[in-house]
Chain A
Amino acid sequence: MNINHHPDDSTLLSYAAGSLPESFDVVVACHLQRCAHCHEKTFQAEAVAGQLLEALSNQAPSHSRAFRDDFFQKLEREPLPEPNTDLIDPRPETIPEAIHAILSGNSEDLPWKRLVPGMHSIALESSDGGLKLLRIAPGRNLPMHSHQGTELTLVLQGAFQDELGCFNPGDVADLNHEVEHQPITIGNEACICLVAMDAPLQFKGLVPKLLQPFIGF
């Protein structure tokens, strides 16, 4: 798969640090499944964290002796490490079921909610409440808008185009409020995206602004 648009390095560092809101975490995790380049960057950010950990001063907190004894007792009760433990990814992500369904071509069965003609969405569960699936019919466009916060969009199916270029499956648009754009779907199939946002969009023009409560972004 040819991926041309990646999350910003700052997003990958925060992913590695564990400091992204959950919705952004899920979008990055889905992108990483297909992108060796970003996987490598994430490993690098984890390696920086490893060096920061190793370099920390070893001044033990005053109560550490009691905790050490407590830990040692727990360790004594542990069986030996399993020699055949599967080589698991150190960060198993919870990829929502709906995304598996879309990637296996079963997007029609999902509980899409119509926002305006040609535009459907599904709110996905996340602790910060910022994760959604968005489906836009072929040839449709979103109104011109900017962002109050950050937005991370991963294309799962179809494609869209905006002022920054063409986004195909696997591509990520990592945007903040400095970017104003008007995405339009390209090709003959609906474009389905996984979107994480930490603030509502800011639409330009009266009609889109009036429609915002219905669009729900």
Chain B
Amino acid sequence: MSEAQVESVVEMDWNQCLEQIAITGDKRLFMKFYDHFSPRLHSWMLKLCADATLAEELCQEAFLQAWRKAASYEPRKASASTWLFTIARNLFIDAKRRHKVEQKHLHSLKSEDIQIEHFNLDSNTVKEAIAKLPHRQAQVIYQSYYLGHSHSEIAEIMGLPLGSIKSSIRLAFQKLCKDLDVTP
């Protein structure tokens, strides 16, 4: 049985795992955390940066920061995946401000019609929640989260007024919060 299969049989509680890492400083346990999230974070960063070297650099740095900041993780505030996402996102924002992220080729994206397969999701709950969204709402969610496009960029790519883009994001946000049980 491969490591991935073992993991799927014995589901880890990644929130507890992080807390444990902070207490024990167990580097082997941290590598389990790395093995679980690294392929996921890497594919996200690859979409965001459109640059394999930078994506890898941000990914590695995010995990190093996760290790160093493990003691500041608070499971009551955020899940381990949310916490890791915020670390990686901040690194992406820094890279963007230092102009390390190349200018997007907006026009080459015009023809891309984003389907549910592009989300590359394994979990049924999240997949179903995305599949339930009207097509335009799924597109704006994909472009906002995975491609890092601003409202104006999305409006240009999709050839739609800014107001429509904003309302599509707003409606998709409401539905995802409800279907994914994200409550205040």
Contact = CB atoms under 8 A, between A and B. Distances in A.
Q: How many B residues are at the interface, by size bracket?
A: 35 or more
Nearest to A86: B72
B114 interface: no
A56 to B, nearest CB: 4
Contact of B180 (A17, A20, A48, A85): A48
A46 B180 CA distance: 12
B74 A87 contact: yes
Contact of A178 (B25, B42, B67, B163): B163
Given A50-B85, A56-B120, A81-B70, A17 B64 contact: no
B131 interface: no
Interface stretch (A60-68, A104-112, A209-217): A60-68
B27 A75 contact: yes
Interface residues of A, number: 65
A9 B151 contact: no
Contacts of A40: 184
29 contacts: A9-B169, A9-B173, A13-B144, A13-B173, A14-B150, A22-B97, A43-B184, A44-B173, A44-B177, A44-B182, A46-B86, A48-B176, A48-B182, A50-B78, A52-B119, A53-B37, A53-B82, A55-B122, A56-B122, A57-B39, A59-B43, A60-B42, A68-B34, A76-B27, A81-B21, A83-B22, A91-B90, A149-B152, A198-B150
Given A177-B161, A178-B163, 4 more contacts: A10-B165, A54-B40, A81-B71, A149-B162
